[in-house]
Amino acid sequence: MSRRFTVFSRLFLCVSFLTASLSASAQVASLPVPELTAKAWIVMDYASGQVLAAKDPDVRREPASLTKIMTTYLAASALRDRVLTPQQVVTISERAWRTMGSRSFLQVGTRIDIDTLLKGMIVQSGNDAAVALAEAVSGSEEAFAVRMNQVAAELGLNDTHFLNSSGFFDSAEARHYSTPRDMARLAQALMRDHPEVHAVHAIKEFTHDKIRQQNRNRLLWIDPSVDGLKTGHSENAGYCLVATAQRNGQRLITVVMGTANDATRTEETLKLLNWAYQSHDHLQLYAKDQVVTRLNVFKGAANVVPAGFAQALVLPVPKVRNGNPTVSFLREPRLIAPLAKGTKLGTMTVLLDGKPMADYPVVALAEVPAGGVFSRAIDTVKLWFQ
């Protein structure tokens, strides 16, 4: 069987699987996307990063305390890399103590451990805790803000820029901004890279120094599938909310920015979650490390490399659609050893109604070391005729 036949026969099976799976749900009545009053919003599938619906997802807006998602990400990274430890204590600076807005009521000169600061920032939305963490990680809030923007660039958050760790300003600050799409991607990165810290966002209340404060995310009391993530509010930003939820194995991320009040951001987020779960099926095309195809390799100890997906390929598909999905695969033109496991070998694109839904990297599922001198010489000749 030729390599080309193997590739396309497997892709045909993938398309057939999707077609058969979707036909069973074709009779479900179409659910219109809810109308929201939020200035901008997005609902995104966590696993694939696919956007299910959005309004002005790339318009820059002040994020207010949504900023703390990045502060959480950097603090979690410092804990992972052992730059900090949960039990490590830091002395609260005057700058942290003087920070206004929502607070954990930290007292200047007191010594607080990192775990308490992290919970104070996440659960209580403490601006003072955010500043204290920034100083613990980078020495100063200014240096921390530089790192925030570096990581934002690394994560591909092209419409995000931070000036501080908390998102609090005395007045409007146009130089501190993000978008619904970038906030959704940041939430995705936090859950992917630091699931243990993401779990803290589900805590409903936290007490520090005998002061008990509740999590401002009201969905934690309303919807048991919601396990995060962060609220934000300022006069210029309006009321904002990044929510994470999981139902029947499907995880979603929603972002609403610029609503009128706390009740509205809660209600509109719940509308988005319910709509997305009710209007989409969640289908697994391939399991993690399942061999999709085998591709020819030149100059290697093996002539072929098994190809597939580093994570399970799970696709959210509308229950109602105008046509059946199609799949195309574009492989790298020449694969030359050595190849490390996880090397990208090509891209699979899934289309629905003729429009691309998402691109997925197909990677090497095994290492292919370099071949011997003789086999490499033969393959060099073969490549002349490619």
Residues designated as active site: 65, 68, 125
Instruction: Evaluate whether 357 touches 350 at the Cβ level (below 8 Å).
Output: yes
